[in-house]
Structure 1
Amino acid sequence: MSSNPGPDELEGTEQPFVTHLIELRDRMLKSIYGLGLALAVLAFWPGPSRLIDWLAIPIRQHMPPGTKQLIATGVFSPFFIPLKVLLMAAVLLALPWLIYQAWAFIAPGLYSHEKRFGLPLIIFGSLLAYAGIAFVQFFVLERMFAFIQKFTPETVAAMPDIASYVETILGLYIAFGLAFQVPIVVILLVRVGLVTLEQLKSFRSYFIVVAFIVAAVITPPDVVSQLALAIPMCLLYEAGILAAQFFLKNTKKPEEEASSSS
């Protein structure tokens, strides 16, 4: 026989709308301060130029001998591209702080069982985003450019433009960072009750097709980058199913815990 649920733990904790606006303003200011600090640190060391040199390592390794520099065709590219790279690096460096501020803003409005799985998911999602970006930088790019170089005719001098190169890198960072969130999406779908674990397992073969379609759409038109995105997505889908089982077991609602214990 199940017991009646207790009183709502959020009852009486409502705040005026103006209070929420003030809290939102404070969290946004703290986010801006954190981002500004990251910008200042990276501008001092290693600096925008070294950040670009580091980003260019994968493609420079596969450029023709004697051609180890990227070109800038735009008038303002030598000025704006380093700033763009610096801002991108600052956002990545400050990402845990930015996510924490978002969490601190919404956490007071969550139940205790929601907080138990909310913060771990945020941390897990941040680590997955970093993993996706690192996977691009240290694995995908080198193999992608090596594959492309094989199809470059000897009569063609490959001299990539720094603006298009940075845009390509940034696009891959975003694509892989989001694609690596597959376990988070799977966990949330199960936790809120939109799907069951059995349904996810039966959808496995369809997800493989979806993963390859997504990879073909959002990656450059080469086989290496498409496989490098589709295969990890399939593996992360399986990891998400396993993780969902764990979260489902350890983040039960109070009425679910009372029902299972009775």
Structure 2
Amino acid sequence: MMKFIMPLALVGLLAACSNDAQPDVKKQFIQEGQPRPLVVVLGGSEGGNTLSASHWRPFLDGFNDIAVSVAAMGYYGTQNTPSSAAELSLNKIADRIITLTKDPMIDEKCVAVYGFSKGAELALLLGAHFDEINHVVSVMPSHVSWNAVKTLSSRSSWSLNGTPLDYIDAPLLSWKMQKGNITGEFTPAFNQALSEASADAVAAAKIPVEKINGPILLVSAKHDEIWPSYQMSQHIESSLQTAKFSYPFEHIAMDGGHYSLNKEVQTQVNQFLHQTLVDTCMAR
């Protein structure tokens, strides 16, 4: 397995990607024995379905190794998904996941979403708003919804029931964001956006993680150069503690940067999924 298994997310915020060869969904379902839990993996802000690429096969195989079926799913930038990253419908994304669970080899009561970076923001939102999704792994997450990437005008990334979600705006054309294209450090732009937002704006944009219907695993980086995932994970933890969240939740805080998720940490993630998803579901 490659040393780093997460070369995605926000690098080159305005760069176009060619995703023509990437499928909307790549499925690796276990086709024997009883119905299995499902993990749906979601890439970052680059769009397309990068996790379906051949060099990610060992990553996907790791889920099959713990008796879990897996699907890599693009949510924009593939043939049958929106081309724009703005106001993506959470309802339509959730419907696509629910459709996957109708396969007879999937246990539709045991469904996890596993998102990276922008996909981590999405994973928390899906878990918070759709009870069918009952486990969340959020790698380099955010505690709030943000403006859409690759979109020069300020627009929400997400919509729910036809209405755009409130969001915090980190303008792509701001000096700090443009400076990040040179230095590789985008975190100052996100920190500035959070510090300048009113308390009411942050509260409106906050992801209601306390509504998630199952266990949550956060993975963050203390020296995240893309956005402040460690501090944002602490906000998520605080929300869960205040709400007396009744399901297991953990936070793995790595010493590295945004792309430092490695085989050792992925093993910890799979152990969490085995304990909270596989053992629970298979024992029913």
Instruction: Note whether the superposition's TM-score is higher than 0.5.
Output: no
TM-score (norm 2): 0.24
Query: Which structure shows the bigger proportion of residues in strand conformation?
Result: 2
Query: Which structure shows the bigger proportion of residues in helix conformation?
Result: 1
Q: Which has the larger radius of gyration?
A: 1
TM-score (norm 1): 0.25
State the structure with bigger RCO (CA 8 A, min sep 6), 1 or 2. Answer: 1
